[in-house]
Structure 1
């Protein structure tokens, strides 16, 4: 087989995801400045979560868990991958088009089910109106997810990873123009979202055609391959549905407190930076690579790919989690505290971020362990595990809400993520040696933790020293940059000293294409 270059793939997807997240920060800074935590932003967050929730359910979650391994193996074996992908495209388009039509009709019921606390105040009607504008985004993004899966399976990651950047490239000017001309910023925002979906679909469709994979539109056909894909996809859809229920549970609990939905959303966007750049990027590359190696009988290569992907991810994730846990307030206040967002909002967001930080390694590890199952067409086990994690999440979110109110969803999400990891790791034993981490990873993992702890200690003292500058409007950006840069330098120096990292490893990995 022609192997996928893992490190190059990680770096390609990671670069474009990082750019998307950076632009996303700019978007959130503008949103919090122009709108601020309150009814309008709460309504937008709840409305925009609807298409994103169903997108993960039908496309990026369930559909890709079934489609990518099957397409990868057909591509590896030369078994008419284009015909299979065309059938999948037509089936997905039909199902999502029907879903979109139903959602537009029953939008009030959807809003009530996902944000019950909005009932009886202005946020409910706002969310219904915004939801009807942004929901068609799911149609374009679901089809874009399929084309992205095709590109990833063939080892072409750049266009698929770059597509999400278009959303922020289009939203940021819309927000600025809307604010500059004195219009309703929220209207500029919501109408830009479906247009960005069209642009993203056009990009990946064109990239797939240029890569030689030309898909045909037509009426959906029920073939044996489609039947097998649906059989694999249904448990994955249920598993994705369970994870989305966790998000809905959190939103229901938070919606009882005005501004809480916005606070959790802002904290979520911060911890999503390392999750997206590292976890999702590595998972995107790892799934097709494992699928093709298993098809070719390369068990040793599959084990090495899993171990190197986990080593790469944990080397970058654990220090991020420590930083979010130790110094969340300066990060949040410098990035978000302006305009309609005040010091109390920053304090609330920082507390939520520190809670999410404890679960960040677990969120990333999920993206690494799930491909072990999906590459073998086992989607039933992750579904069972997700159900247990959902029960833990719901029990903690509703059980703790009377005592700590809107913070309950953050604690529940963190605990349930670690419960999910424990189940995925324990269940993977049935796959044998190929699903075990190698000795190099086991030796280096504790060194990564030690290096991160040393960095966290240094960050704490640096924060104390920089407090006067972090609170100064003219110096806070520079002070935060110094804090982050010094933390990174201390971490990498500690990693070299403890043996958690060696430059030769990165150079060899890039050359050998493991």
Structure 2
């Protein structure tokens, strides 16, 4: 399957998950606003979300897939399945131990994680229990990450992209329970929702296990042993996860700093959900589709295919990401106020969140580019240099983000703005280091054709941004003319997307024939069925 088709499969299913996730967040905001209960929710989900994004959404898969793909090519599927089983047993045992340890330590960790409410015993007790209920999701995502890597290497993308929908279905069902069971308190709903996170993880892992067996790969749970295959997996996966998860580490640092500011973690959570949307739809999809293709090119010594794959991935990523970043930069208040302001969530909450989101917006292209520029290192089983660059970016984020957070807070400003600035700056530092290394070593050679297409894409984005600015200036007028603000934001988003598409074609940044060629299935790519029967895709 072509890169664009793989990306389309990933993005379409991820979009379904994100739409449901957005519906869940609307329900959370309406019920809890940006007060202590919302701070408890975001704190309880902080560690599970960190590992979900770090492992299940690409970094672990990017480190594991080249090893698994190489084993399939060199030793056959049976040996590759044995290596994957050994890695699964060891890593699952380690993560399960960490999960149990964190649950036991949570009564002592929570006052540090949520220091703004440390003197409120009721909030602390609720936070501890909520975090303990959600923590087993880590172990479930470890299994899901490895199984997704196996499926993606086999050319099966739909199931691994679709299972996160279960997370949003389960949590949304818990949030909507009061509609059918009146009298349930907000605290009980919060605990049910965090428990639903773990339930969804069990369902995701089970469905992916079924999918792997359907393509004929026979993994087995066994006692953990530190075999040579496991050592090799860990030597690449650990630094690879750190490298691929630089943005997630920066996000975690930001969340830890907000623990001392009441409501700040809720602001960060809501802003994070919006700017993560293009990353989930584009960056993760392209990253997962790039790794198997680059791995095949590396094993075969096909330098031309590797170069073409990287250029195609970069153009496709920016073509889909730049307009999203422009929208978040130009109409953040329009987007948030029109969709989230209701119930306990006020227009003042929307304004604060929008200000933070604007500073995340200019970092969005960098977040996605890192997903495109990291796989070439992983495909060559080089994870140490990306890890060093990731550590450098974390240092930049800590210095700039923490410095601005405390400076702004001390001078009457909103410290969360500093965290957003630090995160976006660190993302661009990471991308700069990755790109410079690839160009210096000749692993990537940007040419005039690539530069021309990117220039035309930028022009199309600027034209769309102008249209969105006009809409932002007339937000109240559009809301009145179209009867409701929700209708207005959908109409503006649709008009902006359509206008961008027209400008892309008019400026010849892409042609219809190129789009058709990009979506055409590559000859011999992937297996249609496995020994176990037809693909679940």
How does the TM-score come out when normalised to structure 2? 0.91
Distance 1:110 1:243, change over 3 A: farther
Residue 435 of structure 1 aligns with which residue? 444
Residue 526 of structure 2 aligns with which residue? none
Cα shift at 1:61: 6.0
Residue 132 of structure 1 aligns with which residue? 132
Partner of residue 32 from structure 2, selected from 17, 32, 35: 35
Cα shift at 1:243: 4.8
Distance 1:47 1:201, change over 3 A: same
What does the per-residue CA deviation read over 1:207-265, in whole Å, with 9 as the maximum and x for residues that have no partner? 11001111011112332222211221232344467655422331233223211111111
Residue 426 of structure 1 aligns with which residue? 436
Asked if structure 2 preserves the Cα contact closer than 8 Å seen for 1:71 and 1:81, the reply is yes
Residue 451 of structure 1 aligns with which residue? 460
SS at match of 2:176: helix
Distance 1:462 1:243, change over 3 A: closer
Using the alignment, how far apart are the partners of 1:114 and 1:376 within structure 2?
38
Residue 422 of structure 2 aligns with which residue? 412
Asked if structure 2 preserves the Cα contact closer than 8 Å seen for 1:56 and 1:240, the reply is no
Cα shift at 1:351: 0.9
Unpaired segments ≥5 residues, structure 2? 524-537
Residue 527 of structure 2 aligns with which residue? none
Distance 1:410 1:511, change over 3 A: same
Asked if structure 1 preserves the Cα contact closer than 8 Å seen for 2:86 and 2:224, the reply is yes
Q: Which deviates the most, 165-174 or 23-32?
A: 165-174
Using the alignment, how far apart are the partners of 1:142 and 1:302 within structure 2?
29
Matched positions, count? 510
Asked if structure 2 preserves the Cα contact closer than 8 Å seen for 1:275 and 1:360, the reply is yes
Residue 285 of structure 1 aligns with which residue? 289
Cα shift at 1:111: 3.1
Partner of residue 208 from structure 1, selected from 206, 212, 218: 212
Asked if structure 1 preserves the Cα contact closer than 8 Å seen for 2:44 and 2:194, the reply is no
Residue 104 of structure 1 aligns with which residue? 103
Asked if structure 2 preserves the Cα contact closer than 8 Å seen for 1:115 and 1:248, the reply is no
Residue 142 of structure 1 aligns with which residue? 142
Unpaired segments ≥5 residues, structure 1? none
Partner of residue 261 from structure 1, selected from 260, 265, 272: 265
What does the per-residue CA deviation read over 1:147-181, in whole Å, with 9 as the maximum and x for residues that have no partner? 01100111100100001011111221221113542
What are the residue-to-residue correspondences of 1:159-178 with 2, within 5 Å?
Answer: 159-178=159-178
What does the per-residue CA deviation read over 1:115-151, in whole Å, with 9 as the maximum and x for residues that have no partner? 4444333543332121111001111111011101100
Asked if structure 1 preserves the Cα contact closer than 8 Å seen for 2:50 and 2:252, the reply is no
Cα shift at 1:388: 1.4
What does the per-residue CA deviation read over 1:70-126, in whole Å, with 9 as the maximum and x for residues that have no partner? 001222334321111111111121111111111111113443454444433354333
Asked if structure 2 preserves the Cα contact closer than 8 Å seen for 1:62 and 1:234, the reply is no
2:51 equivalent to 1:73: no
Partner of residue 195 from structure 2, selected from 191, 194, 201: 191
Using the alignment, how far apart are the partners of 1:484 and 1:57 within structure 2?
30
Asked if structure 2 preserves the Cα contact closer than 8 Å seen for 1:148 and 1:204, the reply is yes
Residue 120 of structure 2 aligns with which residue? 121
Residue 95 of structure 1 aligns with which residue? 94
Using the alignment, how far apart are the partners of 2:518 and 2:244 within structure 1?
33
Distance 1:305 1:354, change over 3 A: same
Asked if structure 1 preserves the Cα contact closer than 8 Å seen for 2:61 and 2:288, the reply is no
Residue 501 of structure 1 aligns with which residue? 510
Asked if structure 2 preserves the Cα contact closer than 8 Å seen for 1:91 and 1:220, the reply is yes
What are the residue-to-residue correspondences of 1:232-311 with 2, within 5 Å?
Answer: 232-239=236-243, 243-311=247-315
Asked if structure 1 preserves the Cα contact closer than 8 Å seen for 2:330 and 2:472, the reply is no
Using the alignment, how far apart are the partners of 1:326 and 1:303 within structure 2?
34
How does the TM-score come out when normalised to structure 1? 0.94
What does the per-residue CA deviation read over 1:333-382, in whole Å, with 9 as the maximum and x for residues that have no partner? 11110011001001011111111110000000011011011111111111
Distance 1:380 1:90, change over 3 A: same
2:16 equivalent to 1:6: no
Distance 1:315 1:103, change over 3 A: same
Q: Which deviates the most, 262-271 or 460-469?
A: 460-469
Using the alignment, how far apart are the partners of 2:465 and 2:330 within structure 1?
6
Using the alignment, how far apart are the partners of 1:149 and 1:36 within structure 2?
38
Residue 22 of structure 1 aligns with which residue? 19
Using the alignment, how far apart are the partners of 1:451 and 1:50 within structure 2?
39
What does the per-residue CA deviation read over 1:379-421, in whole Å, with 9 as the maximum and x for residues that have no partner? 1111111121111111112211222422211111011111111
Distance 1:471 1:351, change over 3 A: farther
Residue 82 of structure 2 aligns with which residue? 83
Distance 1:41 1:11, change over 3 A: same
Asked if structure 2 preserves the Cα contact closer than 8 Å seen for 1:37 and 1:262, the reply is yes
Distance 1:295 1:382, change over 3 A: same
Using the alignment, how far apart are the partners of 1:371 and 1:38 within structure 2?
40
